[in-house]
Amino acid sequence: MVKNLNNLRADFPVLDQTVNDEALVYLDNAATAQRPNQVIAALTHFYQTDNANVHRGVHSLAERATADYEQARRKVQTFINAAEPETVIFTKGTTDGLNLVASTYGEQNVAAGDEIVISIMEHHSNLIPWQQLAHRKNATLKYINLTADGQLDLDDAQAKITDRTKIVAVAHASNVMGTINPIKELARIAHNHGAIFVGDGAQAVPHMAVDVQDLDVDFYAFSGHKMMGPTGIGVLYGKRALLEAMPPYQFGGEMIGFVHQFDSTWAELPYKFEAGTQNIAGAVGLGAAVDYLTAVGMPTVQAHEHEIVNYLLPKLTEMPGVTVYGPQDPANHTGVIAFNLDGLHPHDVATALDMEGVAVRAGHHCAQPLMTYLGLTATARASFYLYNSVADADQLLVALTETKEFFNHGTVETK
């Protein structure tokens, strides 16, 4: 459990409000996390004191802005244990980073008859770029299936990844079922067949310690807003040799070495992939979020979420009329839990819970192939973070019980 939880919650002003006359219980963290005062203050300070464009100016504000921006890069490098800051590329988010890899490395290295392997649980951000690359290149897209309890089937992965495979791309953690995938083992399998491994870290980096060198991933993408940073900022990590061999993703200012009338040269890493004016304030805010998470400690964050899941998952699974999807073992589970109430559409469930002040997500969660695989159209999803508590889990259970009673026994008063 995170120590001094009440003091920590006080860092998040948005949590101190009522919704529909009930105290807010925010359980939509897989979609976006809330920001602590420290991140908000870092953004305000940058705009009030250091706001200028980076790298190109020699005046004091430009030099301070550049220092802030590059310091944020170094903070991210340390946070994910990248070998050097040049392998940390700022993007708009996970989606942007994955599209960058598909549109550069993929275009260069995938040909007709090659294979791209992903899992059936992928978010659309780590599915559609590879699907469309396969279409363009006349390559084969293959899906790793799941075990009966919602784990990635490693035996199926071994069978699907072959010597024709060029790219394996799998989420580190599922945004629907909370499954933590064995991406270090998947990267080893991919490398044994001469393929590269791409990790979608959107649901992992905010919730557990990530060491990209230990995982031996070739590329790894994640988003700032899911780890308490601003929206519109993210990171793509890549191994230096691969990044250096890739062409630029976009063209324009900042990413050039020298521009002639009929030809151009490109800047060194990481700037080759950072065309135009970047989200400088977003990077500064992301750096502040990294500072906050580092101070708490990622093992502490993960242990705290495990405590909540250990408490909630059995109670939710045993509740009559509730179906929970994904692993039942909390040890291999992030704070994401997908469920349905019998006979109720997930949107109705989410609306009813909102009336009790409990914010959850409902829909296909940008994972429609997974929904089809599970025989569903949608689920409700509760997702916890470091500022949530067992009391929040209890409030979810109470709200679900009241929702069931209302829909099963509710009557309309007539005169």
Burial profile 150-181: b = 16 or more Cβ within 10 angstroms, e = fewer:
bbbbeebbeebbeeebbbbbbbbbbbbbbbbb
* Residue-by-residue DSSP string for 244-301: HHSPPSS-SSSSEEEE-SS-EEEPPTTGGG--SS--HHHHHHHHHHHHHHHHH-HHHH
Q: Which of 167, 165, 162, 145 is nearest to 154 (CA)?
A: 145
CA distance 167 to 170: 10
Catalytic residue among 366, 376, 390, 397: 366
Residue position matching structure tokens 């009929």: 262
For the entire predicted model, the pTM comes to: 0.96
Examine the domain organization and report whether 381 and 279 are in the same domain. no
Cα–Cα dist 209/89, whole Å? 19
For residue 387, indicate whether it is catalytic.
Answer: no
Q: Are residues 290 and 356 in the same domain?
A: no
Give pLDDT tens digits for 184-225: 999 999 999 999 999 999 999 999 999 999 999 999 999 999
Three-class secondary structure of residue 315 per DSSP: helix
Phi, psi (deg, nearest 5) at residue 166: -105, -35
Given 295, 318, 333, the domain boundary residue is: 295
Q: In sequence order, which residues have a C-beta less than 8 Å from that of residue 272 and are 6 or more positions away?
A: 243, 248, 255, 266
Whether residues 55 and 11 fall in one domain: no
Q: Which residues of the chain have pLDDT under 50?
A: 411-415
Domain CATH number, residue 250: 3.40.640.10
Q: Same domain, yes or no, for 289 and 305?
A: no
Among 273, 295, 317, which residue terminates a domain? Answer: 295
For residue 350, the domain's CATH number is 3.90.1150.10
- Assign 201 to helix, strand or coil: coil
Q: Do 271 and 354 have their domain in common?
A: no
- 386-400 pLDDT per residue, tens: 999 999 999 999 999
Q: Which domain holds residue 265?
A: 40-295
Overall number of domains in the chain: 2
Residue 85 lies in a domain: yes
**Domain termination site, one of 295, 327, 344:** 295
Close Cβ partners of 221 (under 8 Å, ≥ 6 residues apart): 91, 94, 97, 98, 101, 198, 199, 200, 201, 202, 234, 235, 236, 237
Contact 21, 48 (CB under 8 A): no
Q: Of 216, 272, 287, 258, which is closest to residue 89 (Cα–Cα)?
A: 272
Looking at the fold, whether 287 and 382 belong to one and the same domain comes out as no
Q: Is residue 310 part of a domain?
A: yes
